[in-house]
Amino acid sequence: MYTELSAADRLELLELLIEKAEFGFVIIDQSHQIIEANSRFVEMLGYDSLEEVIGLHTWDYEYEMPQEEIVENFNDLSKVARRFESVHQRKDGTTYPVEVSMAGASIHGESRSYKAVMCICEDITLRKENEETLRYLSLHDQLTGVYNRVYFDDLLESYSHTGPYPVTLLLCDLDDLKIINDKLGHMNGDEMLRRTAILIESSLRKGDTIVRYGGDEFVVILPDTEEKNAIKVIGRINERIHHYNQRSRSSIGVTIGMATAHDGSISLKRILKMADRDMYTQKETKKASATSTKLGG
């Protein structure tokens, strides 16, 4: 049978629930000072006692919003009803992300009346870390760790509008990957792809981007790069692969095609097709050279 609680018992129960909650509870008056908080809020801010927290202003721990903005946006706390994400600063200066739910009211007490807002603060560090992990996985190739096709499409769209031109695209194809997979197994093929990505990426400049475009293909985006400078990048890639092959039991071969957009008159998707055609031309040249060498031998 339900037993109705007295007002005093209900108040005591409510205080217990707030004190034991896993969220931080804090009450702030119209001068933006803390007048009450639970232990979890004190813990979240890195203080040792409630006494240290009482009297703090919102801007003493609110990291993203300056004092002037807080005063302007929350000029009547009794009317506040908001939920938002922010960043709080601990006593030691470190920060953490929070989700804040605010509900204001006009309080009419026995001794005085005042405006205040109660805030429920949740530390969302783990949620943000999970979101960042999911974002990373959505934009990166899981095998090689470089950017994937999704990221490439977005980047290409961005460069199509803003450049900086000239933009050069390199299409890098790992030679004979199917043969490697068939003869040595897919684990060896995967290792070849990982090693190729490392060799290409280590040859690039700050601001250049490598993307795994397909099964055995990587695209390198070189912003603000004309042909002569792109050729230097290709030279570094080939040099690193050559040095790797000299000291490795396995040999990596990469064929690189190149095309440059000097302005926005030609779409970067078309430039990519031009780089693809150039890559196949380079492959045919390689094959012809290899055949000629064998015949000459």
| H helices present in 140-176, as ranges | 149-162
pLDDT at res. 177: 84
**Cα–Cα distance measured from residue 24 to residue 46, given in angstroms and rounded to the nearest whole number:** 12
Cα dihedral angle (213, 219, 222, 227), rounded to 10 degrees? -140
**What angle in degrees, to the nearest 10, is found between the helix axes of 149-162 and 125-139?**
80
> Which amino acid appears at position 229 of this protein?
N
Burial class (CB in 10 A: 0-12, 13-18, 19+), 182: exposed
Look at residues 90, 76, 85, 87 and name the one whose alpha carbon lies nearest to residue 28: 76
- In the CATH hierarchy, which fold is given to the domain comprising 7-128? Beta-Lactamase (3.30.450)
Please tell me the distance from the alpha carbon of residue 60 to that of residue 53, in angstroms, as a whole number: 10
Render each residue's pLDDT in the chain as its tens digit; 297 residues: 556 766 676 667 667 777 778 899 999 999 999 999 999 999 999 999 999 999 999 999 999 999 999 999 899 999 999 999 999 999 999 999 999 999 999 988 777 888 999 999 999 999 999 999 999 999 999 999 999 999 999 999 999 888 899 999 999 999 988 888 878 788 888 999 999 999 999 999 999 999 999 889 999 999 999 999 999 999 999 999 999 999 988 889 999 999 999 998 999 999 999 999 999 999 898 887 766 555 555
* CA-based max dimension of the chain: 106
pTM: 0.76
Give residue limits of the domains in the chain: 7-128, 140-289
Tokens in use for 177?
């990957």
Instruction: Determine contact, residues 262/165, Cβ cutoff 8 Å.
Output: yes
Residue 124 in tokens: 């969302």
Residues in CB range of 107: below 8 A, 6 or more apart = 113, 114, 115, 116
* Phi/psi of residue 272, nearest 5 degrees: -65, -40
First CA to last CA distance, the chain: 101
Task: Measure the CA–CA gap between 216 and 177, rounded to whole angstroms.
Answer: 7
Contact 89, 46 (CB under 8 A): no
CATH number for domain 140-289, candidates 3.40.50.300, 3.40.50.970, 3.30.70.1070, 3.30.70.270: 3.30.70.270
Closest alpha carbon to 46 in 1, 5, 89, 7:
89
Q: Are 251 and 196 in contact (CB under 8 A)?
A: no
Pair 177, 193: CB distance under 8 Å: yes
Beta strands in the chain (DSSP E): 24-29, 34-37, 81-89, 95-108, 113-123, 167-174, 209-212, 217-222, 254-261
Cα(19)–Cα(14) distance, integer angstroms? 9
Contact 137, 147 (CB under 8 A): no
